[in-house]
């Protein structure tokens, strides 16, 4: 009879889980339905990133050639399967988003069931479904929700594999890799996963399953790398360098250049209430979250500090204060390694934790890892909180569970169950109201008509396009999707002259803009679709003819053109990818050019450039210069890079070393062309945005046969070469040191800018 009773209990639990999972699916479907009513039926269009992902999917399906190489491939791959079957529509991306939204809530419920009763787990899933940024980004066709859903299932199989059957572990690393290939920032999840596995006593017993999991994941990753190896001609890791080459140190990139303002490191902490709910009731969930986090840490410390007779509450306060004081000052990788390692390896062996407490600790570390990662990024948006939503929901429910556990110690079990039920019901009611408020707030957002207007503009332009037509657009990702062909990105400029300059430089056939109207240089807006304007060239007007400088590299052309007063066209070309976004990232290789190609330009500019074979790249430049060309090179863009690094190396027989420049260095000008109308006493100060010494490349010719000395044009403190010239054959190389071009731009120093203008004038003089 006892066995029969246990079987009945198990059946009851399974039935209850089925009912609650069904409720989650129904609730999620209702939210999806109303969100689609906003997004799809009025033709509001996807988000900015979503357009690029749709175009990538179209290319993978063989229906376009526009591909943004820096975008993660998994979601476009899934979409391409439907596109190949003929379902080429944004709705496919919306429904895929919706599927993973519901799947994520279901996975979170099942994960929480490893720790909490069914009713509290249901409350946790409802928090996940109702969070404002989840609803705002739902059915936009982006990767945020898909990636977090896959991450939840990764963690669920990890916990099942450790607590129930090791065979579940086989799914962990393949799912992790797929999450990573959906959104590259999911790589951060590797920290808690690895340390969680290492912190288990039965690690050796699970090695077979872990090994199989890693092997399968490597197969999945190798397929991706093989594809990118093919399309990038050997630069397969480029797709990862941009997204993952950040946050390894405290913020260092000048905010002035990228965003104009940097949110504080505490952005996600101070904005937690509004990220939990659009109403003031968000504080309720924050309080539960804080109770869950605080009570868990104090309970953990009580166990570990009991033999030392130290107050757990005191230590918790000290740890919290230390965490906030050092939050923006510690290297992200070092901080995460210490925190995660301490909690998931050291503490489990010091303290006798049960499975539930280990899971609490793991989720807490999962949350802190992503909080730390995104807080160290230069760009911070509430959207990035999506990576922390399952952890926040879990920790809020943990606050309820630990509170009711405390009540259970003093009150009858019936009171405990009643309080638990009331708390869960309260959360369900609140989250339902919060979901409705989020829906209303999304509905009230303006600007929804732009995508439909862009679509109409593309419908008008499409019949007039030829195979070799060039289309520029400021909302280029949307235009590329609707035209189903490559589109060149028009940067957003503050100076009106920059638009005329850019159009005059490349002379596109059409310019589609959501920002500009009227006339721009020899272009006139002839069709209007709400705020979208289509510009075409006016035959009776020609752009001004300007000297052309050819750039191999990145991050310099637009602001240098501005500094030069738009008197030069700085040209770029020969990207191995069909889209201008990749070209804008500098994905062009110096050794792929022939000297005869470069000889069409009097001046070649090298900054933050790339190569496949550095010796071949040197040969290309050397032959170009020997033929009479002038090369202007600032190796500061390549100093200290993880790849394409020229620091402590040589190029063209010249040693390159990154050094600091004194804050108030004294400059001397040794050439009348460079010193024309320049007051060097007004240069500087040479410090970076964090008041650290300014750094840049310095140069010294090597004692090699045929290598001529570098002649000083501008020096600092008597000996430091800031600008030098070196003869090679009929031409010359102008070496610019100490990152002086960027310093002039960043600090808007008029005297330094005038010197940069003189350098280009000098470069155009006959050698």
- Identity of the highest mean pLDDT range in 290-299, 422-431, 591-600: 591-600
**Which string of DSSP letters, residue by residue, matches 146-186?**
HHHHHHHHHHHHHHHHHHT-GGGGGGHHHHHHHHHHH-GGG
| Predicted confidence (pLDDT) per residue in 252-272, tens digit | 333 333 334 567 777 888 888
For the segment 566-573, the average pLDDT, to the nearest whole number, is 87
Percent of the chain whose pLDDT exceeds 90: 42
pLDDT at residue 410 greater than cutoff 80: no
**CA-closest candidate to residue 166, choices 208, 107, 126:** 208
**Which string of DSSP letters, residue by residue, matches 441-455?**
HHHT-S-TTHHHHHH
pLDDT for the residue 445: 59
Q: How confident is the model at residue 232 (pLDDT cuts 50, 70, 90)?
A: low
Q: How confident is the model at residue 691 (pLDDT cuts 50, 70, 90)?
A: confident
**CA-closest candidate to residue 546, choices 496, 602, 599, 508:** 602
Tokens matching residue 480: 């590329």
User: How many residues are recorded in the chain?
Assistant: 767
14's CB contacts (< 8 A; 6+ apart) are none
What CA–CA distances, in Å, run from 591 to 229, 580, 595, 620, 625?
Answer: 18, 20, 10, 6, 15
pLDDT for the residue 94: 93
For β-strands 532-537 and 523-529, DSSP reports them as antiparallel
For the segment 130-140, the average pLDDT, to the nearest whole number, is 89
pLDDT for the residue 734: 97
Tokens matching residue 29: 């479907």
pLDDT for the residue 201: 55
For the segment 239-264, the average pLDDT, to the nearest whole number, is 45
The more confident residue out of 361 and 255 is 361
Average pLDDT value for the chain: 82
pLDDT at residue 718 greater than cutoff 80: no
pLDDT for the residue 252: 35
Q: How confident is the model at residue 98 (pLDDT cuts 50, 70, 90)?
A: very high
pLDDT at residue 149 greater than cutoff 60: yes
Tokens matching residue 715: 């020096």
For the segment 45-49, the average pLDDT, to the nearest whole number, is 83
**CA-closest candidate to residue 275, choices 370, 174, 180:** 370
DSSP one-letter code for 610: B
pLDDT for the residue 535: 93
For β-strands 711-716 and 731-736, DSSP reports them as unpaired
Element (H, E) at 606: strand 603-607
Q: How confident is the model at residue 398 (pLDDT cuts 50, 70, 90)?
A: very high
For the segment 433-455, the average pLDDT, to the nearest whole number, is 72
The more confident residue out of 220 and 636 is 636
What CA–CA distances, in Å, run from 332 to 264, 326, 336, 368, 691?
Answer: 16, 11, 6, 11, 21
The more confident residue out of 66 and 732 is 732
Tokens matching residue 570: 């700085």
pLDDT at residue 608 greater than cutoff 50: yes
**Which string of DSSP letters, residue by residue, matches 30-77?**
HHHHHHHHHHTTTT----HHHHHHHHHHHHHTTS-----TTS-SHHHH
pLDDT for the residue 540: 80
- Distance, in Å, from the CA atom of 752 to the CA atom of 746, rounded to the nearest integer, reads 11
Q: Kindly provide the b/e burial profile for residues 525-541, where b requires at least 16 CB atoms within 10 angstroms of the residue's own CB.
A: beeebeebbbbbbeeee
pLDDT for the residue 235: 55
Q: How far is CA 178 from the centre of its chain?
A: 17
Helix, strand, coil % in the chain, rounded to nearest 5: 60, 10, 30
Assign 499 to helix, strand or coil. Answer: helix
Percent of the chain whose pLDDT exceeds 70: 81
- Distance, in Å, from the CA atom of 3 to the CA atom of 509, rounded to the nearest integer, reads 79
- Identity of the highest mean pLDDT range in 512-526, 538-552, 603-617: 603-617
pLDDT for the residue 337: 60
> Do 225 and 377 contact (CB within 8 A), yes or no?
no
146's CB contacts (< 8 A; 6+ apart) are 74, 75, 96, 97, 100, 182, 183
pLDDT at residue 250 greater than cutoff 50: no
> Do 51 and 477 contact (CB within 8 A), yes or no?
yes
Q: How confident is the model at residue 579 (pLDDT cuts 50, 70, 90)?
A: very low
Q: How confident is the model at residue 251 (pLDDT cuts 50, 70, 90)?
A: very low
The more confident residue out of 299 and 754 is 754
**For residue 530, is it left (φ>0), alpha (ψ between -120 and 50) or beta?**
left
> Do 653 and 620 contact (CB within 8 A), yes or no?
no
pLDDT for the residue 586: 43
| Predicted confidence (pLDDT) per residue in 479-532, tens digit | 999 999 888 888 878 788 888 898 988 889 999 998 887 788 888 899 999 889
213's CB contacts (< 8 A; 6+ apart) are 169, 170, 171, 172, 173, 174
pLDDT for the residue 309: 46
pLDDT at residue 382 greater than cutoff 90: no
Lowest mean pLDDT among 100-109, 128-137, 169-178, 587-596: 587-596
For the segment 126-139, the average pLDDT, to the nearest whole number, is 90
**For residue 334, is it left (φ>0), alpha (ψ between -120 and 50) or beta?**
alpha
- Give the count of beta carbons closer than 10 Å to the beta carbon of residue 639: 22
Alpha helices in 189-231 (DSSP H): 190-198, 207-231
The more confident residue out of 99 and 327 is 99
pLDDT for the residue 666: 94
Phi/psi at 656 (5° precision): -120, 125
pLDDT for the residue 152: 97
| Predicted confidence (pLDDT) per residue in 192-214, tens digit | 888 788 766 566 777 888 888 88
| Predicted confidence (pLDDT) per residue in 637-667, tens digit | 888 776 788 999 999 999 999 999 999 999 9
């Amino acid at each position: 009879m006892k066995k029969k009773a246990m079987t009945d209990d198990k059946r009851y639990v399974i039935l209850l889980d089925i009912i609650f999972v069904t409720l989650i699916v129904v609730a999620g479907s209702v939210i999806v339905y109303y969100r689609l009513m906003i997004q799809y039926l009025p033709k509001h269009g996807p988000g900015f990133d979503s357009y690029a992902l749709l175009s990538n999917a179209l290319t993978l399906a063989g229906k376009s050639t526009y591909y943004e190489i820096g975008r993660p491939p998994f979601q476009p791959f899934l979409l391409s399967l439907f596109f190949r079957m003929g379902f080429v529509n944004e709705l496919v991306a919306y429904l895929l988003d919706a599927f993973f939204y519901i799947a994520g809530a279901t996975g979170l419920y099942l994960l929480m069931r490893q720790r909490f009763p069914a009713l509290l787990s249901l409350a946790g899933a409802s928090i996940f479904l109702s969070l404002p940024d989840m609803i705002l980004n739902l059915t936009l066709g982006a990767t945020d929700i898909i990636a977090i859903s896959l991450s939840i299932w990764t963690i669920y199989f990890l916990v099942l594999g450790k607590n129930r059957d090791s065979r579940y572990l086989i799914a962990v690393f393949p799912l992790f890799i797929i999450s990573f290939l959906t959104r590259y920032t999911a790589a951060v999840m590797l920290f808690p996963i690895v340390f969680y596995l290492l912190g288990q006593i039965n690690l050796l017993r699970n090695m077979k399953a872990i090994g199989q999991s890693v092997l399968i994941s490597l197969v999945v990753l190798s397929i991706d790398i093989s594809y990118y190896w093919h399309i990038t001609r050997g630069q397969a890791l480029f797709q990862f360098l941009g997204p993952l080459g950040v946050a390894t140190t405290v913020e260092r990139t000048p905010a002035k250049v990228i965003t104009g303002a940097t949110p504080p490191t505490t952005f996600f902490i101070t904005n937690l209430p509004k990220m939990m709910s659009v109403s003031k009731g968000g504080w309720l969930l924050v309080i539960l979250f804080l109770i869950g986090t605080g009570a868990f840490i104090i309970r953990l410390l009580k166990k570990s500090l009991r033999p030392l007779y130290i107050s757990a509450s005191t230590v918790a306060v000290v740890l919290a204060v230390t965490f906030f004081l050092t939050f923006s000052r510690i290297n992200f990788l070092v901080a995460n390694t210490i925190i995660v390692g301490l909690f998931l390896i050291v503490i489990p062996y010091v303290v006798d934790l049960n499975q539930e407490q280990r899971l609490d600790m793991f989720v807490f570390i999962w949350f802190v890892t992503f909080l730390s990662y995104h807080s160290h990024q230069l760009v911070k948006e509430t959207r990035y909180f999506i990576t922390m939503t399952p952890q926040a929901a879990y920790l809020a429910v943990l606050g309820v569970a630990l509170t009711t556990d405390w009540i259970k110690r003093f009150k009858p079990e019936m009171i405990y169950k009643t309080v638990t039920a009331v708390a869960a019901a309260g959360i369900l009611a609140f989250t339902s109201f919060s979901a409705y408020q989020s829906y209303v707030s999304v509905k009230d957002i303006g600007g929804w008509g732009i995508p439909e207007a862009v679509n109409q503009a593309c419908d008008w332009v499409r019949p007039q396009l030829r195979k070799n037509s060039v289309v520029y657009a400021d909302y280029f990702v949307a235009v590329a999707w609707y035209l189903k062909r490559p589109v060149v990105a028009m940067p957003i400029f503050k100076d009106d002259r920059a638009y005329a300059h850019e159009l005059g430089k490349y002379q596109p056939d059409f310019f589609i803009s959501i920002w500009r109207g009227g006339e721009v240089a020899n272009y006139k807006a002839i069709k209007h679709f709400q705020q979208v304007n289509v510009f075409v060239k006016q035959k009776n007007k020609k752009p001004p003819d300007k000297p052309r400088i050819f750039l191999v590299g990145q991050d310099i052309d637009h602001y240098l053109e501005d500094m030069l007063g738009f008197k030069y066209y700085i040209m770029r070309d020969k990207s191995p990818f069909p889209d201008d976004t990749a070209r804008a990232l500098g994905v062009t290789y110096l050794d792929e050019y022939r000297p005869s190609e470069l000889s069409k330009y009097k001046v070649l500019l090298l900054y933050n450039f790339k190569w496949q074979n550095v010796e071949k790249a040197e040969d290309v430049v050397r032959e170009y210069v020997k033929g009479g060309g002038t090369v202007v090179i600032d190796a500061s863009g390549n100093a200290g890079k993880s790849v394409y690094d020229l620091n402590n190396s040589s190029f063209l027989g010249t040693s390159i070393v990154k050094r600091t420049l004194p804050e108030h260095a004294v400059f001397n000008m040794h050439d009348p062309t460079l010193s024309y109308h320049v007051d060097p006493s007004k240069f500087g100060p040479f410090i970076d945005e964090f008041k650290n010494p300014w750094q840049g490349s310095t140069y010294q010719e090597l004692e090699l046969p045929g290598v001529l000395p570098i002649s000083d044009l501008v020096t600092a403190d008597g000996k430091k070469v800031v600008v030098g010239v070196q003869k090679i054959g009929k031409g010359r190389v102008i070496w610019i040191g100490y990152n002086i071009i960027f310093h002039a731009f960043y600090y808007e120093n008029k005297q330094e800018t005038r010197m940069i203008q003189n350098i280009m004038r000098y470069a155009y003089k006959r050698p």
